[in-house]
A and B are shown apart, each in its own frame.
Chain A
Amino acid sequence: MTRLLPALVSLAVVVLLGALLLTGPTRDGLFRGSSGLGDTFSRRDARGPAPDRVGPGSRGLENASANTVTAIVLDYRGFDTLGEVTVLFAAVAGAGLALFGRRRRGQAPPRRRASLILTTAAPFVVLFLFVVGLAVALHGHLTPGGGFPGGALLAAGLVLLMSSTGHEPSARRLHLLEGLAGFSFVTVGVAGLVWKGSFLAHFTGGGALGDFWSAPVTILLYLIIALKVSSELTGAVRTLALVEDPTDKEAP
């Protein structure tokens, strides 16, 4: 019972938080013109004259997402964002290169056990970070945030999980996730090129400005960015965590 209780409490917290993020306190449901917590922010932007329909015939790119910053980052400057993601990859790869060869071969370095406070609090905080991170990434076209902060939240959760349990995620899996995300970003871009005639163009229709489904391509791109950012940051911290400990040599 004592082992089951934390699991049940954290499950309840996550379900409650998820429901709150999906439905929001004022409006009704994710799929009916509401975006949960996003509502509070997006309606402010979306208010005004009658909401524009965003669809295949829509001309203005910024119509697709109520969040102006996202409209600029992923619509007008989508190609730049691809470059930005590449820069992030290069930075992490550079850090890995600088630390290359300093890793202990064979077994993982010995580590102290995580403290009681960390192991007790970690499950709650990790679940909270995962749910909020995913929500921030998915609502990037409506609310402040998006794939970069969302991915960083996911990475923070993974790092916390890593330091509390002492198990690192496998490098192969992280690299696969990262490569897959990078490939998907370009694939979405090429899909826009094929169907709409320009790289990263919105190749699907959307709902009214402010709806969750108002910008499906933006949701997809921010989800991909969140995956890429989280796997890259986790990989960077993992590399640092596994570097050989110089103080170990002095120990008998």
Chain B
Amino acid sequence: MIALILLVCIPLVVGAVAVVTVRDLLSAILIEGVVSLAAAVLFLLLGALDVAITQAVVGCGLTSAVFLYSWRRLPEKAREVTHD
């Protein structure tokens, strides 16, 4: 069980780092969705079923939808992050 939890934590941590380092905003949004899904699986493994449902629907589904709708409204130049 511990091994399984740790296995789920790997994409969680790698994805979380990737979200803030990746340059393309669309990729960041999609990776954020994957991170949310991994978090939902983690909650499921830890026995918090209702939190897992909410995390999957709100975190992975609706938040990504809102981000994607906002991304569509961004001008072309703003779609890539520049790290100064």
Q: Hey, which bits of chain A sit against chain B, CB under 8 A?
A: 41, 69, 136, 143-146, 148-149, 152-153, 155-156, 159, 163, 233, 236-237, 240-241, 243, 245-247
Q: Apart from A146-B50, A245-B72, what 18 extra A-B contacts exist at CB < 8 Å?
A: A136-B53, A143-B49, A144-B53, A149-B57, A152-B61, A153-B57, A156-B57, A156-B62, A159-B61, A159-B65, A163-B65, A236-B66, A237-B62, A240-B66, A241-B69, A245-B73, A246-B75, A247-B76
In the complex, B54 has a CB within 8 A of chain A: yes
Provide the residues of chain A in CB contact with B66, threshold 8 Å: 236-237, 240
**Chain B residues touching A, majority SS:** helix
Contact: B62 with A233, CB < 8 Å? yes
In the complex, B58 has a CB within 8 A of chain A: yes
Of A136, A159, A243, which is within 8 A of B62 by CB?
A159
Of B50, B75, B76, which is within 8 A of A145 by CB?
B50
**Chain A residues touching B, majority SS:** helix
Contact: A149 with B70, CB < 8 Å? no
Provide the residues of chain B in CB contact with A148, threshold 8 Å: 54
In the assembly, what is the distance between CA of A144 and CA of B62, in Å? 20
Shortest Cβ distance from residue A19 to the other chain B in the assembled complex, whole angstroms:
21
- Closest B residue to A112 by beta carbon equals B72
Total interface residues in chain B, CB < 8 Å: 18
Shortest Cβ distance from residue B4 to the other chain A in the assembled complex, whole angstroms:
20
Provide the residues of chain B in CB contact with A155, threshold 8 Å: 62
Q: List the 3 closest pairs (A to B, CB-CB), nearest first.
A: A144-B50, A144-B49, A152-B57
Question: For residues 4 through 30 of chain B, which have their beta carbon under 8 Å from a beta carbon of chain A?
Answer: none
Provide the residues of chain A in CB contact with B70, threshold 8 Å: 240
- Closest A residue to B57 by beta carbon equals A152
In the assembly, what is the distance between CA of A146 and CA of B73, in Å? 34
- Closest A residue to B59 by beta carbon equals A152
In the assembly, what is the distance between CA of A156 and CA of B72, in Å? 19
Provide the residues of chain B in CB contact with A247, threshold 8 Å: 73, 75-76
Provide the residues of chain B in CB contact with A146, threshold 8 Å: 50
In the assembly, what is the distance between CA of A170 and CA of B58, in Å? 22
In the assembly, what is the distance between CA of A236 and CA of B65, in Å? 11
A-B contact pairs, 19 of them (CB 8 A): A144-B50, A144-B53, A145-B50, A149-B54, A149-B57, A152-B58, A153-B53, A153-B57, A156-B62, A156-B65, A163-B65, A233-B62, A237-B62, A237-B65, A237-B66, A241-B69, A243-B73, A245-B72, A246-B73
- Closest B residue to A229 by beta carbon equals B58
Provide the residues of chain A in CB contact with B69, threshold 8 Å: 237, 240-241
Shortest Cβ distance from residue B78 to the other chain A in the assembled complex, whole angstroms:
10
Provide the residues of chain A in CB contact with B61, threshold 8 Å: 152, 156, 159
Contact: A145 with B49, CB < 8 Å? yes
Provide the residues of chain A in CB contact with B53, threshold 8 Å: 136, 144-145, 149, 153
